[in-house]
C-alpha cells in the first residue's frame, strides 16, 4: 500500500457523542504511542479515562500542544470545538474553560510510515493551525469492501493464469528436450 492511498478519507458516521471527532481533510490526530513518542491516527472515538486523561477508544493518550490532554476532576461537561479546542465547565450554568487543544497535523503523504502498532509516523510533522474536526462523528474505514473483493478475485484469476502459463512452458521445454534426445 502506498501512503497516498492512506490519505483517502473514509465515510463519516455521525454519532452525536460530545467527544467523538472526525478529522477534516488531510488532518491527523497526534497521540502517544506505547514508548511515549508521538504517533498519528485518524481514530476519533475519544473518551476520558478515570484520571481525566483524554484518550482514543483503544487507550492511546491524545496529545495537545503541551503533552497529553487532561481534564481536572470536578468538571461537569467536556466538549470539543471545531478547531480542536477541548473545553470543560464545572457546572451547568458555568462558562466553558479551555483545557487544551488537540494536536492536529497535516503531514506530507510521502513522509508517512505505518508502524507495527498500526499508528503512523511523520518525522517533523508540525501543527496545522487551519485543521478542523467534525464533532459528534467518527471516520469509518477507508477500505471499500466490494472493490477490494473484486480486486482480490482478479488477482486470484491472474495468478491461476500465470501458473497455467508456467505449466505449459514447462511441458513445451520437456517436449523439446525429449525431441533432442530422440535424434
Q: For cell 505449466, what's the residue?
A: 167
Q: What is the pTM (predicted TM-score) of this model? A: 0.72
Q: Read off φ and ψ for residue 117, nearest 5 degrees.
A: -85, 0
CA 127 – CA 10 distance, rounded (Å)? 22
Residues in the chain: 183
Q: What is the pLDDT of residue 183?
A: 56
Characterize the bridge pairing of strands 77-80 and 85-89: antiparallel
Among the residue ranges 12-16, 21-25, 27-31, 41-45, the one predicted with the least confidence is 12-16
pLDDT 10s digits, 62-110: 999 889 999 988 887 899 999 999 999 988 888 999 999 999 999 988 8
Angle at 63 between CA 57 and CA 113, to 5 degrees: 80
> Where residue 4 falls among pLDDT bands split at 50, 70, 90?
very low
Q: What is the pLDDT of residue 182?
A: 64
> Where residue 135 falls among pLDDT bands split at 50, 70, 90?
very high
Average pLDDT, whole number, for the chain? Answer: 87
* Contact between residue 20 and residue 48 where contact means Cβ atoms under 8 Å apart: no
Amino acid at each position: 500500500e502506498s501512503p497516498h492511498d492512506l490519505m483517502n478519507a473514509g465515510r463519516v458516521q455521525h454519532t452525536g457523542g460530545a467527544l467523538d471527532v472526525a478529522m477534516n481533510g488531510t488532518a491527523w490526530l497526534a497521540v502517544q504511542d506505547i514508548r511515549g513518542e508521538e504517533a498519528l491516527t485518524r481514530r476519533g472515538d475519544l473518551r476520558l479515562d478515570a484520571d481525566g486523561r483524554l484518550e482514543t477508544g483503544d487507550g492511546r493518550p491524545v496529545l495537545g500542544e503541551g503533552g497529553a490532554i487532561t481534564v481536572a476532576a470536578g468538571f461537569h461537561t467536556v466538549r470539543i470545538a471545531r478547531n480542536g479546542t477541548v473545553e470543560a465547565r464545572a457546572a451547568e450554568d458555568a462558562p466553558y474553560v479551555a483545557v487544551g487543544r488537540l494536536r492536529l497535523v497535516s503531514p506530507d503523504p510521502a513522509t508517512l510510515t505505518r508502524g507495527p502498532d498500526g499508528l503512523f509516523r511523520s518525522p517533523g510533522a508540525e501543527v496545522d493551525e487551519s485543521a478542523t474536526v467534525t464533532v459528534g462523528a467518527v471516520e469509518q474505514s477507508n477500505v471499500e469492501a466490494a472493490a477490494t473483493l473484486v480486486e482480490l478475485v482478479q488477482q486470484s484469476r491472474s495468478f491461476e493464469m500465470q501458473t497455467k502459463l508456467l505449466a505449459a512452458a514447462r511441458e513445451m521445454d520437456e517436449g523439446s528436450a525429449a525431441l533432442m534426445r530422440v535424434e
